[in-house]
Chain A
Amino acid sequence: MVLEVEAIENGSETEPQANGYKVKLEVFEGPLDLLLYLIKKEEIDIYDIPIARITQQYLDYLSLMEQFDVDIASDFLVMAATLIQIKSKMLLPPDPTISGQEEAVEDPRKELVNRLLEHKKFKAAAEMLWTKVQVEQEVFTRALLDIDKENTEIAATVYDLIAAFKTVCDRQREEQEMEIAHEVMTMEQKMEELKALFTDSLEVNISRLFALAKSRTDLIMTFLTILELVKESVVRLIQDRPFGEIIAIKR
């Protein structure tokens, strides 16, 4: 079973020493995989599962997972409840109102066995698919021809459509969030931001300051703040020739 080996290698495998025994803790895909593993390990007939024993082993395994801080998915707990339920059903004496000959009482394990068998079938099918994809990954088609380039666009499915819509919505939301974030900026905050810029350099081209503005409101705020900075004599503005660049210089 190549797939299983691979899954184990990829999973977080730990080999802690517990009670002197070497315990191999494998990470299972789900509760059905764990059950199949236990059945295989114990060499149990899948049609006649000793439910008490398997339930105990299943629960032991879960507590082991807990000990090593492996998150136990809720699916595993649901299965634990199912196992306990089956176990208790099997302990009940047969209903005396039903005559013994009818054999109407269904084996409480039946549904679980069916699910396990069904699951095993799909595991085998997955292996078959794995083999197929291995072969096909080694097959190549011709290189692009000039005529292919006439249509380099993407083919679309409904999933592409919803993905495109989601992209547009996310983009729109981001833009709105940015606008909102900047509109709440006060002149004091803007002042701090610009003053910080002047601590790094003594002169700044003010067209650069305008380019940094993230929205119209931000742009107006930048302009007003520069005027305020000039008024407070923090900076002075110079222009070395008519229509030339305006430079703000720290006083």
Chain B
Amino acid sequence: MSYLQYIFLVPLLPLAAFVLLGVFGRKYFKKSSGIIGTAALLGSTVVSLYTAWNYFFVSGKVDGVYQKFSAFNFKWLEFGPGISIDMGGTVDTISVMMLVVVSFVSLMVHIFSLGYMKGEERFPTYYAFLGLFTFSMLGLVLSSNIFQIYVFWELVGVSSYLLIGYYFEKPSAVAASKKAFIVTRFADLGFLIGILVLGFYSETLDFGLLIQRLTDPTSTQYLAITAGSFLGVSALTWGLVLVFAGGAGKSAMFPLHIWLPDAMEGPTPVSALIHAATMVVAGVFLVARLFPVFQMSAAALEIVTWIGVSSALIAAIIACTQNDIKRVLAYSTMSQIGYMMFALGVAGSGTADNPGFTGSMFHLFTHAFFKSLLFLAAGAVIHMVHSNDMRDMGGLRRLMPVTHLAFLVACLAIAGIPPFSGFFSKEEILLAAYESNKIVYAIGLFTSALTAFYMFRLYFSIFWNKSQRQANDHHREAGFSMKLPLVVLTVCALVAGFVPFSEFVTADGIPFISQLHIAFSLPPVTLAVVAILVAMFMYRKANNKPEKAAALFGGLYKAASRKFYIDELYMFVTKKVIFNFIGGPAAWIDKNIVDGFMNLLAFITAAFSEFIKGIQSGRVQSYALYFFGGVIGLAAVFIYFWK
């Protein structure tokens, strides 16, 4: 496998960039750091594309089935016989697909940032962090070991923390970064325990072995893990659910999603890379990675499904009410990931040839392109208007045609209008849902309509709505370095849908041909179109219809615009409950009771010595008295009692 030996370069080049720029950047590469980072990324993109080509078209398929190869693998930390953390590179369909997506989008973002971040004081640091993130993300997708994935999982989290907090002087940015890290950390706790459970029962941490053992109903490990149960739920389900909790945290699924909107405090390209295309789909990737095991536990899949679908719906509803364009995009991201999740969920519980898995991966693929495109475009807009609020925008279509076009394409893609990429992937997902669970299907359908609505609400209020603005020196569309990625991604968003995805990525590696049924895809598309028209009707020109609509929905609108008060709930729990009812008491007890006890001992000793000082009265006669008392006492004791 000649091409496999180069794969290690893919993560290592960004790492090298990180080390170089992190250590020497601010001294030597003040200006050139951007180029360095981009070059490194270019390298790893080329390698990953080369890998993908080789894998998918040359040598990946052995008698009709895509194999799983191990590019490299060494023991990093051996706990005991069989139980060890390995650092390995798995090459299979999803990992190669992710390699391409991650490196490509990251490259785009690198290029975009050249213009976007120009003149920043901590320019080298920025690129160093980007490099770190890309390295960790690539390592994550290559992981061959459940603990390895956890390692990179944490690294991804911390690099996202660093990048969100990039504008460290903005308290809001600091708070957001903290929130993002802590919330995901909390989820990772579940992941860790899940790893402990699965690892303990399957007696390995290696994905291949683990999947093999836990999917073979005859293996001792499988029997053990299904036999072992806690609170009446089998250990297998526990393990999977806990692992999924980690995934849900990273992918901002419903109860753990609160960090994602705030994460928009980071630089926009970062949001494009991390919080749209790559990191947030890590949860989906994790579930996909363990998909065979998930299939062994219906309960776990149920949970995945419902978490996914509810996140999709809630996010979509909230997105309709937000005014900060990046927040709107963030919620749409959340909702799209919800799609991917429930696609996986229904895929497992559905019939054997259910396209859910493929659909999910496909959607992940396309979504990466159009969502990062959306963000970059939004970034371009923000770069120009110096505001995130759509009410400050409007009528920009003449002013920035390229951006306008790109944004439009992306909106159409996400709205699922043929022939744009989003359409195809969404079709597969809805199909999968339809086949297995009608309710989910209905919700998915509704959500897609909502999606179309809020995306075009966004589009119109940015580029139409207000009267035309005139170009002047201050308002100019961004330079080449920012246009190029837009164009490239636009093209991707256009054509990505035509990739015959099901022939490459499937749950079991066996390709199949998925064909479109016009009849089936009619309702979603019509709904989408209707939604777009409604949006156009409401937002094409400045008017008071939105207010009316808002008034129409009343409480629902208010609740949605306040994100259903989930943040407030979290705030209450952390600030009030944990700090006041756990942390406070702990500190108080430590200061007053535990430490107080030590001081009390000292005090008692001192007090007692003060109390008995009267013995030493200075009167020689009482000394003699004590003396004699001692003698008689001793004699009496030892003559009469202590015989």
Whether A and B are associated in the same complex: the answer reads no
Q: Which residues of A contact B (CB under 8 A)?
A: none
Q: Which residues of B contact A (CB under 8 A)?
A: none
